[in-house]
Structure 1
Amino acid sequence: MSPDPLSELQPIILGQAPGLWPLALGWWLVIIAVLLTIFFAVRAFVNYRKFWTVKRQCLTQIKLTTDNHQINRLLKQAALHYYPVTDVARLSGQAWADFLNLTLASSQHTPCNDACLALYSQPSGQDPVFQAIAQHWLGCLSRATINNGIVKNV
């Protein structure tokens, strides 16, 4: 009989199992995409917090004071921060009330007019209505109301 042909074969040598390192190109792309997403999310959050810091500070200070002149100063400070300085800095009296009205909801226009004009007729005042209007105005302040260019019409 002839010799067994299978006995002449060499044993099968298994290679090493593939390791995790080095990573495949697809994994590198996933890692880069995740890191970029985290970076831009953190950056957007920091910019958001920084942009609305003045609004938060003014709201906090308005809750602590009842003096109308102090509240008006805080509103002016917020308006100067969020709107063009050249358009807002010159506003006073009726023009200031009109500016606040144009950036408020239509249901708040008349009380805002009366409260703003009362600043110029009373020596000093503590009007809770003006405080509520100021809180409402700051609460309604958004990027949409800031970017719509409504100040140009005052």
Structure 2
Amino acid sequence: MNPQDPLSQLRDIHLPDPGGFWPPAPGWWLLAILAIALISALTWLILKRRRRNRWFRSARSELALLERSAAADARWFVQLNTLLKQAARERYPESHPEALTGNAWVEFLLATAPSHRVASRTVAEALVESAWRPSVSTEPAQALAFARLWLGGQKC
């Protein structure tokens, strides 16, 4: 080392240490917060939809039970009408469908049936009337088809 030469007293250029991955930059924090908020919102919406459609899953399982025990007697038609009224009460609580009987109940079923499928008035009338008449005026298969059609259009 020459004391007269000031350049000889300088050290070599040192590069700074490479930055670690922690702590992340502020943009990554913001992205993480947004991702957590989005996942939370989606989870909440999915759970809310599942709770709202619980009645639909229950009605479908009860309809499957009724399908296995299908019989051309008035008690079976009463059970099917009860199932449809319970589903209607859950889906349309403001209309109070559980209080409807006879032709008013038939009109409600036809009015709330899915519009893209044609619901048969005669089957709906026979479904309602078979619950209180001594002789059944329709086949259980037709009533089940109507109930399946009606329930299929009710999902939220």
TM range (shorter): 0.7 to 0.9
**Per-residue Cα deviation, 1:18-55 (whole angstroms, up to 9, x for no partner):** 11111111101111111111111111111111111111
Q: Provide the rounded CA distance (Å) in 2 between the counterparts of 1:122 and 1:36.
A: 60
- Percent identity, aligned pairs only, is 30
Q: TM-score, normalised by structure 2?
A: 0.78
Q: Which residue of 1 aligns with 2:93?
A: 84
Contact 2:86–2:98 (Cα < 8 Å) also in 1: no
**Matches of 1:131 and 1:122 in 2, distance apart?**
19
1:42-53 equivalences under 5 Å are: 42-53=43-54
Question: For each residue in 1:82-107, what CA deviation from the matched residue of structure 2 results, as whole angstroms up to 9, or x when unmatched?
Answer: 21256223211111111110011361
Is 1:24 aligned to residue 37 of structure 2? no
Equivalent residue, structure 2, for 1:113: 125
8 Å Cα contact 1:98/1:113 also seen in 2: no
Q: What code does the residue aligned with 1:99 have?
A: F
Distance 1:142 1:52 in 2: 7
User: TM-score by structure 1 length?
Assistant: 0.79
2:64 counterpart of 1:60: no
Letter in 1 for 2:118: S
**C-alpha distance 118-95 of structure 1, shift in aligned 2 (>3 A):** same
Unaligned runs of 5+ in 2: 71-75
Q: Which amino acid aligns with 1:107?
A: V
- Kindly state the Cα deviation for residue 17 of structure 1 after the two structures are TM-superposed: 1.3
1:122/1:140 CA distance change after superposition, 3 Å: farther
> Distance in 1 between the 2:37 and 2:126 partners?
51
Deviation at 1:70, TM superposition (A): 0.8
Q: Give 5+ residue unaligned stretches, structure 1.
A: 144-154
The structure 1 residue matched to 2:146, chosen from 127, 133, 143, is: 133
- Contact 2:110/2:119, CA 8 A, preserved across alignment: yes
- Letter of the 2:92 partner, please give it: Y
Letter in 2 for 1:30: L
